[in-house]
Structure 1
Amino acid sequence: MNVIFIENFQIYKRFVNVKTIGGIETNTLDVIKELKKRGHKVWTPSNQEEPEWVENGDVDIIAASTFDPLTYLQVSKYKKQFRENAAVVIHGHTTVEDLKGNFLPDMPIFNLIFKYWLKVLYGSAHLLITPSNYSKKCLEQIQTTMTYPIVPVSNGIRVEYFVEKESYRREFRKFLNQNYGVPKNARIILNVGLSWKKKGVDTFSEIAKNFPDYYFVWVGPINKNPDIEEAIKLKNVIFTGFYPDIREAYFGADLFLNTSYVENQGIPLIEAAICKLP
């Protein structure tokens, strides 16, 4: 197959000043890599010059995984251009519940805008793929008339990537000790992910406040907000920001604590389980 894969993660990363958008970006890159591995041709307009097969109109699928206005314009453009032979497949990783209070304040007017926007964007698809039955239910609720099928397909995880090495625990403990003064034999309670409002930073810090003898470490890009500012006042709470090898964090911690209010799949929970982190 010949696939145009639209992703504009650089827009989000500039907007919120982070190095990665998390699970949705990881999944997209994994899908693109796997498509190429299986012999399919993939063109990503955001970072590659247009190949000859696109110029010749030999396109089978127009795929997209981001939800910004540029993505919508690109999907609409290519859908019209290749309407005779290409199907539009959008990865509906994002829901209204997912966005509340993250990019904009959790207010009825903004949530209504998000609902309308996702309805318009996803309505341009011939097929919508979403990570779970839960996210499928959320997406069904924003449609007054269903114009496309919604199929739940797990984001998937590269299990072979999370094979334990003795150095992982040692390196993570060394990092925490050198940068934050955490004793190498300390009990580490870990959370992983972007520090969005939906991830429950306030709950994370509230639990930490009740267990002062344990260190609560949050690994992942920092989205500055009042909850984080309040949390870091505690001596046993640490936000590391982006960490280059997440395996070291999973194998270096003693317990995984997920405080999210909503997850469309919850990849860190599965990754922690693979690493046998309680």
Structure 2
Amino acid sequence: MRVLNYLELEDRLRGGIVTATRQQRAALADTDVEVVTTPWQGGTPFAAGKARLTGAPFFREYDVAHCNTIGPGSLAVARHAKRNDIPLILHAHTTAEDFADSFRFSTQAAPALKRYLKWFYSQADRVLVPSQYTKDLLDSYPVDAPIQTITNGVDAASLEGYESFREETRERFDIDDLVVFSVGEVIERKGLTTFCRVAQDTDFDFAWFGPYESGPQASKTTKRWVEDPPENVTFTGYMDDKRAAFGAGDIYMFPAKVENQGIAVLEAMACGKPVVLRDIDVFDEFFTDGEDCLKAETDAEFADALERLRDDPDLRERLGEGARDTAAEHSLDVVGDRLTDVYREVAGKGDAL
């Protein structure tokens, strides 16, 4: 079976959508699914247009179309699939709720995006989501298509050797002792204000490894904290190798307000790091307080959790071991098996949902 696994503007995007898509492809590498990553003859719409002038088809041939983004290229693929009876899978990495608090004016634009997403996802033969939380959101829009949960997974192999980056990275950013860290794009939705306020109330070194906007598209909150951070907070900017972040940090703190699953959380867990999470619904699906993480709601609760971990090495070790076990439940083998089943179902070659 030949499947289009498409990430529009892949060379320009960053963040969890890129990671999730590439993990899908890695998970499918050992299956009997042949993956193509572009729908266009010649690789680009421009090349496809030139080919069309010579009588060649604009789109490549595939048995199932699987799109991971929501832009005009994905919409063109969706329309082509519907016209030609090609089974269409749309992966809902984006919701109006996680779009808000991302950049300047994103919160104001979220209601309009919600209307578009309701229409766009409703075209699919199957919508894939990473959590029951996300499924419940789309059901409430409502999206008129079958919705199925499938973990984004974690690519443990991509993290191998993270320990070797520890000293170099800590020296580079002048961080030491027990370092509290986060990984990913620096935005308010990820809990930026909480991260900084907790830093102000504690004496740990805090480091956020990931890119941030500083131009006119940046939110006022992001600009405020990045331009004038607490003395014990370091914003590193984009990291060429994520293993440097997971090697340098000791306690992973992720106070996100809204999340569809949290790939970076699973990556921290795969590295055996003790994790402190905001107590929100989506994390209840995957993580258990006291077994593979600690959960908190207020700034004071986050600070207390960090101090407990600092003062109790056995707790850090126990939570780290539990975290590794949880991450193993989201291996790429699991993702590959689930995706293969979905492709066969929508193509009429397997059991229905």
Change (3 A) 1:55 1:2: farther
Contact 2:129/2:135, CA 8 A, preserved across alignment: yes
CA distance in 2: counterparts of 1:251 and 1:88, whole angstroms = 40
The structure 1 segments of at least 4 consecutive aligned residues displaced by more than 6 Å after TM superposition are 53-57
Contact 1:251/1:277, CA 8 A, preserved across alignment: no
Which residue of 171, 181, 186 maps to 1:190? 181
CA-to-aligned-CA distance 1:2-61 (integer Å, 9 cap, x gap): 1223321348x4xxxxxx52121111122124334434333333787269x987975310
CA distance in 2: counterparts of 1:47 and 1:173, whole angstroms = 44
Alignment identity in percent? 28
How do 1:47-58 residues align onto structure 2 when only pairs under 5 Å count? 49=42, 58=61
How do 1:99-248 residues align onto structure 2 when only pairs under 5 Å count? 99-103=99-103, 105=105, 107=107, 110-143=109-142, 147-164=144-161, 166-177=163-174, 182=175, 185-211=176-202, 213-224=203-214, 225-232=219-226, 233=228, 234-248=230-244
CA distance in 1: counterparts of 2:75 and 2:58, whole angstroms = 21
Which residue pairs with 2:71 in the alignment? 68
The AA in structure 2 aligned to 1:198 is R
Offset of residue 106 of structure 1:
5.2
TM-score of the superposed pair, with normalisation by structure 1: 0.82
Q: Which runs of 5+ in 1 are unaligned?
A: 14-19
Contact 1:195/1:222, CA 8 A, preserved across alignment: yes
Contact 1:6/1:74, CA 8 A, preserved across alignment: no
Offset of residue 94 of structure 1:
1.2
Is 2:14 the counterpart of 1:21? yes
CA distance in 2: counterparts of 1:166 and 1:197, whole angstroms = 29
CA distance in 2: counterparts of 1:56 and 1:260, whole angstroms = 39
Change (3 A) 1:57 1:193: closer
The AA in structure 2 aligned to 1:268 is A
Contact 2:131/2:260, CA 8 A, preserved across alignment: yes
Where 1:257 maps in the other structure, the secondary structure is strand
Offset of residue 241 of structure 1:
1.4
Is 2:267 the counterpart of 1:271? yes
CA-to-aligned-CA distance 1:140-188 (integer Å, 9 cap, x gap): 1111xx53211110001122333455422122213213xxxx4xx3332
Is 2:28 the counterpart of 1:35? yes
